[in-house]
Amino acid sequence: MALVLLLLQIPAVAILLSRLLRGPTRHPPLQPQKPSPELLGKVSIVVPTLNEAERIGPCLASLSQQSYEVREVLVVDSRSQDGTPDLVKRAGQADPRFRLLTDDPLPPGWVGRPWALHTGFIESSEQSDWVLGVDADTYLNPGLVSSLVKTAIAEGYDILSLAPQFILKYPGELWLQPALLMTLVYRFGPAGETNNSVERVMANGQCFLSRRSVLAALGGYSSARNSFCDDVTLARHAAAQGAKVGFFDGSKLLKVRMYEGAAETWREWGRSLDLKDAAARGQIWGDLWLLAAVQGLPIPLTLILLSWISLGMGSLPVVAALSLNLGLLVMRIGLLWAIAPSYDLTQAKAAWLFWLSPLADPLAVLRIFLSSTQTSIQWRGRSYTQA
C-alpha cells in the first residue's frame, strides 16, 4: 500500500515543484501609478450587476477615485430588484462618467455575467483603447487603472488581470477560503507567472483589462458566453489566438469582499473553481489527481502512516511515504506564509483561524471534485443547466 501511495504522489509532487520553483522569477506585484496625459480617456470600465446593493457602494466610490484615464464607467444591470440601479444613478449625479445600462433578456446559451459584459463592451465608446471589466464586490485603490494600462502597454500585454487582496471577516471563511485559493496555486502556480502554456493561463474577471481591438477580434465575450469561469475561458481563447495574456499580483491595488461566511464561500466560489468550462476533460481529471495527491491526502495519510509505524509496521516504503507527506505539509505551511499578503484580516474575527486553514485542505479538494462533476448550477436567482 505504501508503494502504491508513493507511485501516486511522487509524480504529482514533481509537477508541483516544477510550478512553485518558478515563483522567485514571477512578475513582481503591481504598484499604484499616476496617470500621464497620453492615457486621457483611453479606458472604458464595465461593471456587471444583479442585486448588488449591499456591496456595490465601495466599488462605485473607488471607481470615482480613478483619474482621467477613465473615459466612462458603464454599469450594466440585469434588472436588479434591490435598489442597485438607484445607487448607480446617485453615483452618476456626482460623477458624470457613470452610465447605467440595462441588458436585454438573457439569450439562449448565455450565462448572465458574460452577457452583461458583452453588452457593456458593445455600448462602450470606440474612442477607448482599453476595456476594463470590474466586479461589484471589488475596491480599486487610486492608481489601479493607470498602473494596469501602463504595465500592459510597456510589456506588450493584450489582456491583463489581477489577483486581489481578499477581505475575510468570519471564522468559517478564514478557515476555508485560503484552502480553496491554494487549489489554484497548486494547479497554476503563483500570480505573476509569465511562462504558462495556453491551457494553464489564468485570469480574474474581478479586474480584467483587454485591448478593445482584441475583444473586437474575438467577438466580444461570445467565446465565453456559456462559461461560469468566463474570465479564464476568454483569456485562454485569446491566448490560443496569439494574444499575450498576463495574470499579476494586484494585492496592493485591489481588494475584494467576495462572500459572507463559509457556507456562501463553499457554495458560490466552488461553482467555478474547477474551471471545467475552460479545460479539456483530461486536464480536469489530471488536476483532480494532482490536488488529491499533494493537497487533499497529506493530512489523512500522515495520520494513517504514523499509526502504522506505532503498530510496528515501519517498513522502508512506509517511512518514505511518511517523509514525503510530512514534507508536503511543511511546504503547505510555507505557502500559507507566502499567500498571507493576499489577505486583509483587519476586520477578521478569530483571525488566528487563517493559520489553521491547511486543515481544510481535504474539504477544499472535495469541493473541487464535486464542482467538476456538477451539471446544474444556480447563481443569483438564475438556474442554468450545462450540457
The reply to whether 331 falls in a domain is yes
Domain presence at residue 380: no
Question: How confident is the model at residue 160, as a pLDDT?
Answer: 98
CA dist 15 → 232, 294, 327 (Å): 21, 10, 15
Domain membership flag for residue 19: yes
CA distances from 76 to 79, 121, 292, 312, 371 (A): 9, 10, 39, 65, 28
Cα–Cα–Cα angle for 252, 256, 257, rounded to 5 degrees:
145
> Could you give the CA distance from residue 337 to residue 326 in angstroms, rounded to a whole number?
17
pLDDT, mean of each 10-residue run, the chain (387 residues): 91 95 89 96 97 95 97 96 94 96 94 96 97 97 98 97 97 97 94 86 96 97 94 97 96 95 90 88 95 97 95 91 97 96 96 97 96 72 60
- Indicate if 239 and 364 belong to the same structural domain: no
Answer yes or no: do 272 and 286 share one domain.
no
Q: Tally Cβ neighbours within 10 Å of residue 314.
A: 14
Cell numbers for 209: 483589462
Grid coordinates representing 33 are: 501609478
Identify whether the C-beta of residue 371 lies closer than 8 Å to the C-beta of residue 288: no
Q: Is residue 386 part of a domain?
A: no
How far from chain centre, in Å, is Cα 324? Answer: 30
Let me know: does 35 contact 142? Beta carbons within 8 Å.
no
- Output the pLDDT for position 387: 42
Domain-terminating residue out of 278, 300, 330: 278
Whether residue 387 lies inside any domain: the answer is: no
Same domain, 52 and 137: yes
Q: Is residue 230 part of a domain?
A: yes
Q: Are residues 136 and 213 in the same domain?
A: yes
CA distance linking residue 89 with residue 73, whole number of Å: 12
Phi then psi dihedrals of residue 49, to 5 deg = -135, 150
pTM over 0.85: yes
| Domain endpoint, select from 278, 294, 320 | 278
Q: Is residue 104 part of a domain?
A: yes
Residues 268 and 229 in one domain: yes
Backbone angles phi, psi at 33, to 5 degrees: -135, 150
Contact 84, 153 (CB under 8 A): no
Q: Are residues 18 and 32 in the same domain?
A: no
Indicate if 316 and 251 belong to the same structural domain. no
**What single DSSP character describes residue 185?**
H
Residues 272 and 332 in one domain: no
User: What local confidence, expressed as pLDDT, does residue 122 receive?
Assistant: 97
Q: What is the pLDDT of residue 373?
A: 85
Question: How many domains, the chain?
Answer: 2
Note whether 92 and 218 are same-domain residues. Answer: yes
My answer on whether 47 and 128 are in the same domain is yes
- The verdict on residue 162 lying in a domain is yes
Look up the CATH number of the domain holding residue 242. Answer: 3.90.550.10
Domain identity same for 12 and 57: no
C-alpha atoms less than 13 angstroms from C-alpha of 178 in its C-beta half-sphere: 31
Among the candidates 262, 278, 294, a domain finishes at 278
Same domain (yes/no): 36, 106: yes
What DSSP state is assigned to residue 124? Answer: S
Question: What is the extent of the structural domain holding 326?
Answer: 2-23+281-375
Q: Give, as one character, the DSSP assignment of residue 260.
A: S
